[in-house]
Amino acid sequence: MTSLKRLYVLLCGFEILPKTVSTRGLGGRFILSEPVCAYLLDTDRGWVLLDAGLNPANGRDRARMESRFWSQKMTPPVIRDAHLLETQLANVGVAFGDIRHVILSHLHYDHAGYLGHFTHARISIQRREHEHAFGAEPGMAYFRDEYDLPGLQWDLRDGDWEAQPGLRLIDTRGHTSGHQSAIVTLPEEGTFVLPFDAGDLAENFDGEILPGETCDDAAALQAIRRIKAVIADEQAQCLLFHDPVAIQSIRLCPEFYR
């Protein structure tokens, strides 16, 4: 049983990163251009957004690029007009106001950039992630001014949960203290796993290689193995969020999975 109809993959831009950000201790001299995604679901209960994209100001506003990236010896993301969330949503006739439910994998800046547009929506997240992100010094990849906003309606979750028939969220903490991944079941094409940052690249799963940043190495490895088990047990397809090779063969909005 599923209440889902379509899955759209939204490509929100690219991050320019040392490979070690994705693969612990491996490939330090390589710089990757990693895609950032978000996912839009057309469901019997309305539109659902999984993750909230990349704030375009991080790649366009020079003061922000200096304070958030260059001053930290990081490169700002590349966000072209075609990557803007509003542009891609408009291509399928959807406005921010039409989306009543946003589910976040975690609160790193490349997953939460458009949250300010969703004060009318329910924002579901793991309680542990929310607590960490709103605590003192959550870490460099948390841009507090993009999520600590008045009017956001937080829906805090503990562990695995089902958002609606065909949309399951599983606890994959380890990359961050409250990371969750999604399992999406579509009526025709079956089950898809969306790992988000549990593993950025195919090799994280193939070789069980830890992400560069974790809060708990054992939990992060368990998350990778859990996702592999779901893929095997449910004969699911895996849509990687940050893999620069895989993204080139993923169907992008306005195309969709059904």
Contacts to Zn ion by CB under 5 A? 108, 197
Q: At closest approach, how far in Å is the CB of 106 from Zn ion? A: 6
Q: At closest approach, how far in Å is the CB of 174 from Zn ion? A: 11
Cite the beta strand spans of the chain per DSSP E.
4-18, 31-43, 46-50, 99-103, 122-126, 153-157, 161-164, 167-171, 180-186, 190-194, 237-238
Q: Residue 108 or 173: which CB sits closer to Zn ion?
A: 108
Closest CA to 173 of 125, 240, 231, 244: 125
CB atoms within 10 A of CB 106: 29
In this structure, what token pair is assigned to residue 179?
């990371």
Q: Residue 157 or 242: which CB sits closer to Zn ion?
A: 242
Q: Residue 133 or 231: which CB sits closer to Zn ion?
A: 133
Q: At closest approach, how far in Å is the CB of 42 from Zn ion? A: 26
CB atoms within 10 A of CB 112: 25
Q: Residue 34 or 197: which CB sits closer to Zn ion?
A: 197
Q: Residue 142 or 192: which CB sits closer to Zn ion?
A: 142
Contacts 24+ apart (CB under 8 A), 135-141: 138/107, 139/213, 140/72, 141/108, 141/109, 141/110, 141/213
DSSP 71-101: GGT-PPPB--GGG-HHHHHHHTT--GGGEEE
Q: At closest approach, how far in Å is the CB of 4 from Zn ion? A: 25
Q: At closest approach, how far in Å is the CB of 178 from Zn ion? A: 11
Q: Residue 171 or 197: which CB sits closer to Zn ion?
A: 197
Q: At closest approach, how far in Å is the CB of 211 from Zn ion? A: 8
